[in-house]
């Protein structure tokens, strides 16, 4: 296949995936049960966390009004391979956390290929610093912090945790370290935790061309042109940092890492669990047989409900909230 035809195929595939998730999120939001007020949740939309007026530099705050504050805080960073989606496609995650008594900060960030590394990581860091400095005026307690995300968002959440534990030469990471960020837990679901060498998934075999294209796009779109020749940027590969075995200057937070058994990214979760084990970091890696990538977003499924119940049981041990009852708005 020519490079031109291959590029066209990949662009078409990406458009299909983006359109599907955006449409599904929009349709789900119209359901009566999606109304935050029915769950005692107040949503403050489009709060700027960086100057400049970009839509990508806005976040939504989900406040659990039925539960007494100040509330523990979840910074949620959406997935989408650093290329697609936003806080608006991931409204459900903000609602889920707020329903369980967490003040959820659901942030957008700049996307590739228009904005390559470290754009998304810089924005995630800026959203975290905004959260630490501003969330008290919304009723949040920044001393009880959870970093969370799925897929590319799990990479961002893990990278923020790494930046808070190891001193780095990268500007955005230095700022996190100097701020003394100390999260109480990380929820890293089905993460792509090494952006470089996405060909590792193809070499394992068993993937369709469609899935291979989506994985290749992550590296090709987000890493700077020519990055492979000089070595990958270190903190967009947080898994490689953890796998060095180098002891952190500050303790890493506990990790909860769920992944579907049919998820092509499952090896990254396995490697994460192994690296955390070697470092002595408290963690739980949970695998759900015959479940696909980001299956936990389909909350009508039994496996998704079990995943969320186990995630909240983990959070209750490390960053508890006051809420009780079922975790999902169904």
d(CA 101, CA 314): 15
pLDDT tens string 187-206? 999 999 999 999 999 898 88
- Length in residues, the chain: 330
For the chain, the structural domain boundaries read 3-318
Torsion of CA 198, 108, 163, 217, to 10 degrees: 10
HSE toward the beta carbon, residue 80, CA cutoff 13 A: 27
pLDDT in tens, the chain (330 residues): 555 665 665 666 666 777 777 777 777 778 888 899 999 999 999 999 999 999 999 999 999 999 889 999 999 999 999 999 999 999 999 999 999 999 999 999 999 999 999 999 999 999 999 999 999 999 999 999 999 999 999 999 999 999 999 999 899 999 999 999 999 999 999 999 999 999 999 898 888 988 989 999 999 999 987 665 556 668 999 999 999 999 999 999 999 999 999 999 999 999 999 999 999 999 999 999 999 999 999 999 999 999 999 999 999 999 999 865 555 665
φ, ψ of residue 22 to 5 degrees: the values are: -65, -40
User: Domain 3-318 sits in which CATH superfamily?
Assistant: Alpha/Beta hydrolase fold, catalytic domain (3.40.50.1820)
Q: What is the pLDDT of residue 166?
A: 96
**Gap between the Cα atoms of 49 and 129, Å rounded:** 9
Strands (E), 49-119: 58-64, 71-77, 103-107
What does the mean pLDDT of the chain come to? 92
**pTM listed for this prediction:** 0.93
């Amino acid at each position: 296949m020519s490079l031109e035809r291959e590029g066209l195929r990949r662009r078409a595939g990406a458009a299909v995936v983006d359109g599907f998730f955006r449409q599904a999120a929009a349709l789900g939001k119209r359901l009566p049960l999606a109304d935050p007020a029915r769950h005692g949740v107040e949503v403050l939309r489009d709060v700027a966390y960086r100057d400049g007026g970009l839509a990508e530099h806005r976040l939504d705050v989900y406040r659990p009004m039925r539960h007494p504050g100040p509330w523990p805080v979840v910074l949620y960073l959406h997935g989408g391979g650093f290329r697609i989606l936003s806080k608006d496609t991931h409204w459900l995650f903000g609602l889920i956390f707020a329903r369980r008594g967490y003040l959820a900060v659901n942030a957008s960030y700049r996307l590739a290929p228009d904005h390559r590394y470290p754009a998304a990581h810089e924005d995630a860091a800026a959203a975290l610093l905004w959260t630490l400095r501003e969330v008290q005026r919304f009723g949040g307690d920044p001393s009880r912090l959870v970093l969370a995300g799925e897929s590319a968002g799990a990479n961002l959440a893990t990278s923020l945790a790494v930046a808070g534990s190891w001193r780095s030469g990268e500007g955005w990471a230095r700022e996190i370290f100097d701020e003394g960020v100390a999260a109480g837990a990380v929820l890293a679901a089905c993460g792509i935790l090494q952006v470089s060498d996405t060909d590792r998934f193809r070499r394992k075999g068993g993937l369709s061309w469609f899935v291979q294209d989506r994985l290749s796009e992550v590296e090709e779109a987000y890493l700077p042109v020519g990055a492979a020749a000089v070595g990958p940027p270190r903190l967009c590969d947080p898994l490689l940092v953890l796998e060095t075995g180098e002891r952190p200057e500050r303790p890493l937070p506990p990790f909860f890492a769920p992944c579907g058994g049919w998820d092509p990214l499952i090896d990254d979760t396995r490697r994460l669990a192994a690296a955390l084990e070697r470092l002595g970091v408290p963690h739980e890696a949970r695998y759900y047989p015959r479940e696909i990538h980001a299956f936990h977003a389909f909350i009508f499924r039994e496996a998704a409900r079990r995943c969320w119940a186990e995630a909240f049981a983990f959070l209750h041990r490390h960053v508890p909230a006051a809420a009780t009852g079922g975790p999902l708005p169904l």
